[in-house]
A = this chain, B = another copy of it.
Amino acid sequence: MSFAPLHNDTFLRACLRQATEHTPIWLMRQAGRYLPEYRATRAKAGSFMGLATNTDYATEVTLQPLERFPLDAAILFSDILTVPDAMGLGLSFALGEGPKFARHVRDEAAVNALAVPDMDKLRYVFDAVTSIRKALNGRVPLIGFSGSPWTLACYMVEGGGSDDYRAVKTLMYSRPDLMHRILAINADAVALYLNTQIEAGAQAVMVFDSWGGVLADGNFQDFSLAYTRRVLDQLKKEHDGVRIPHIVFTKGGGLWLEDMNTLPCDVLGLDWTVNLSKARRMVGGDVGGPGKALQGNLDPNVLFASPEQIQTEAIRVLDSFGLPHTDRATTGPTHIFNLGHGISQFTPPESVAALVEAVHGHSKRMRQQA
């Protein structure tokens, strides 16, 4: 496949710790319910899965936020749970509710029945990736993604969302052997899934470890981090001669930043509880040396304040990271602006406009004043 040349490579450069003219910004769940045009497309599609499995609709909603805001990246419109759905667990979304599986995985028989799914069952995702990449026409890069092995396992065992993770942790504490088998299958499936997204046109890939933060110290390393590593170890590092950055985001993982620094990935995502200045010192690396780019970490609830207050908070996040690396001749610490979690469906779209403008404006001024 050949695609149009990339006009704005700011995001990809920042992922690889290369200097940029401004701090790139994109938002987790930027194509979503806070946009009236998204709600209109979803109404036409009838259901969330109807939207996600239709190439034209998925392309349409992925591009919607870019029509409104000068964001520096697009992210595939899909769900983190497509892989267990392809394993046969039966994913659905009731309107206004979270994901639900028709079957859950809680005993040895159910674990024995699990296998890496045929990627043909996820063809709709790869078709969407290619379609979106074409529709972007080189405007900004396209990010592909998946849930992490642990996060997928949480939903597979619980059968949906949970507020106490009782079922998945009961299995983990009482049958760690079964949990490790689930996670190994998930890891291999996620790696294959992301590599196929890369072949289809994804220019960066992100692993969402949305529920890694609910684990106890020690268990996080054994049951989440180890399997994220197993995914990363299998991922294509480049495609068609171009580097494909790998991003890992563990919500609530700030305490384990030093552990995460050992992952073979390019970027670490951070939620709002993390001090960006400290995180940069811990894992941002030195000029010319190894290190991780950092992505994050504004509290999504800031977007319910006034445009002036949004600007103030955005500047606070940028200043907390400090001046990114600016020398084009080498690599060094870089920052990709994002929220610390997905944008709320109740967010006024004007708030996003104010945020993007503040991030672009202030991050350019930081570089000029340096």
Q: Which residues of A contact B (CB under 8 A)?
A: 164-166, 169-170, 173-174, 213, 215-220, 252, 254-255, 272-275, 297, 299, 301-302, 304-306, 309, 313, 316, 320, 340, 344, 346
Task: Among B174, B252, B299, point to the contact of A305 (Cβ < 8 A).
Answer: B174
- A216/B272 in contact, CB under 8 A: yes
Tell which of B220, B306, B309, B313 touches A273, judged by Cβ atoms closer than 8 Å: B220
Assess the A301–B344 pair: CB atoms within 8 A: no
Which of A165, A304, A306, A320 counts the most chain B CB atoms within 10 A?
A304
Most buried by B among A252, A301, A306: A301
- Tell me the smallest distance from the CB of A139 to a CB of chain B, in Å: 31
B contact residues around A174 at 8 Å (CB): 304-306, 309
Give 20 A-B pairs besides A169-B304, A252-B273 with Cβ atoms closer than 8 angstroms.
A165-B301, A166-B304, A169-B301, A170-B304, A173-B301, A173-B305, A173-B309, A173-B313, A174-B305, A174-B306, A174-B309, A216-B272, A216-B273, A217-B272, A217-B274, A217-B275, A218-B275, A218-B320, A254-B255, A255-B255
**Chain B: CB-nearest residue to A345:** B164
A170 to B347, CA, bound (A): 11
Report the Cα distance A254→B257, complex, angstroms: 13
Whether the Cβ atoms of A340 and B252 lie closer than 8 Å is: no
The reply to whether A316 and B218 form a contact with Cβ atoms under 8 Å apart is: yes
